[in-house]
Amino acid sequence: MSLNSTAFSHPPYFLLIGIPGLEKEQFWIAFPFCIMYVIAVLGNMTLLLIIKAEPSLHEPMYLFLAMLAFTDLVLSTSTLPKMLGIFWLGSGEIGFLSCLAQLFFIHTFSSVESGVLMAMALDRYIAICHPLRHSSILSVPVVVALGSLVLVRGVLLVSPFCFLLHRMPFCQQHVISHSYCEHMAVVKLACGDTRVNVIYGLFVAFIVTGSDMILIIVSYTMILRVVMRLPSTEARLKAFSTCASHISVILAFYVPALFTFLTHRFGQSIPPHIHIMVANLYLLVPPMLNPIVYGVKTKNLWDRVV
């Protein structure tokens, strides 16, 4: 392959423009984003350190929480430093391979986060509906195996995104109307036939999000049936309170994820700045919220902090 055809196939870099339509406001938008990132990093690092240091917390619920904290750190750190560079310094250039690497980490760990939330819902279901069998069903090796499977699933399903994009010709177009390298935003710049990329993207979204959401909904439906049968009002309220905090975390992740996914494919009438703002918050709000919600709601963790 000649040098010219290689340059034609792969631009040396892409240019991330940040939030389309809000280029002048980006400088100020970066401040709340930065604060959210700092809270996410400090909160999740604190969770990991407490769970690691305290042997009594080495049980399924807290091990899943540690997985969630690690995933949130990877998700937010793979996007925020570069995003702040775009907003504050105007450094939107990102190398072709760096863009594919960022895309890989974002989509792999979004898939992992979805899987961990599903595993946490199953943990709550077993703890509430089969409390006597909880420790035998969800032993530490089973929890580690579940976490490993969720990670392997993400890597195996997302890797083809990168291979497919690496083989695509990109012509002269290299401006990405986004704050980070998101799969469909990069696919739109390709000048070859992108049907395989689009169909495979839909397949992965339905396999991951679809299966995880179905299991989460089934788990919480079964939990609520058991909770409604509890004899005391106090016990019901306590169980509802625990479930409500978990459901709020789940909604904070899935609602913007589905909005972003559907907007890329069907939401041409939605202004680009709204779409990109939601896509940015999708990678910021859950990592910030998770340690706050779980830290405050989980007495054992809170006791270690105070």
The pLDDT score that the predictor gives to residue 3 is 41
Segments in the chain below pLDDT 70:
1-9, 264-268, 296-306
**What does the block give as tokens for 147?**
């976490």
Beta-strand ranges (E) seen in the chain are 13-16, 93-95, 175-176
Per the CB < 8 A criterion, the answer to whether 164 and 118 are in contact is no
Query: Which among 138, 101, 109 has a CA at the least distance from the CA of 44?
Result: 109
**In this structure, what DSSP letter does residue 271 have?**
-
pLDDT of residue 202: 87
Residue located via tokens 């996007």: 79
Give residue limits of the domains in the chain: 13-296
Confidence (pLDDT) at 298 = 64
Burial 196-224 (b: 16+ CB within 10 A, else e): ebbeebeebbeebbeebbebbeebbeebe
Instruction: State the DSSP string of 160-195.
Output: HHHHHHHTS--TT--EESSSS--HHHHHTT--S--H
Measured between alpha carbons, how far is 51 from 48 in angstroms, rounded to an integer? 5
Task: Answer yes or no: are the C-beta atoms of 150 and 115 closer than 8 Å.
Answer: yes
Query: Are 179 and 159 a contacting pair, CB within 8 Å?
Result: no
Q: Are 74 and 109 in contact (CB under 8 A)?
A: yes
- Rounded Cα distance between 203 and 245, Å, is 30
Q: Which amino acid is at 225?
A: R
The pLDDT assigned to 301 comes to 61
Q: Say if CB 205 and CB 261 are below 8 A apart.
A: yes
Residue 153 in tokens: 């699933």
CA 297 from chain centre, in angstroms, equals 21
Question: What's the CA dihedral at 154, 156, 158, 159 to 10 degrees?
Answer: 140
The answer to whether 82 and 180 have CB atoms below 8 angstroms apart is yes
Provide the token pair at 116.
Answer: 């961990």
The single-letter code of the amino acid at 287 is: P
**CATH code that applies to domain 13-296:** 1.20.1070.10
The predicted structure's pLDDT at residue 1: 39
Question: Which residue from 120, 102, 103, 74 is spatially nearest to 216, judged by alpha carbons?
Answer: 120
The answer to whether residues 146 and 119 touch, using CB atoms and an 8 Å cutoff, is yes
Helix (H, G, I), strand (E, B), or coil: what is residue 265? Answer: helix
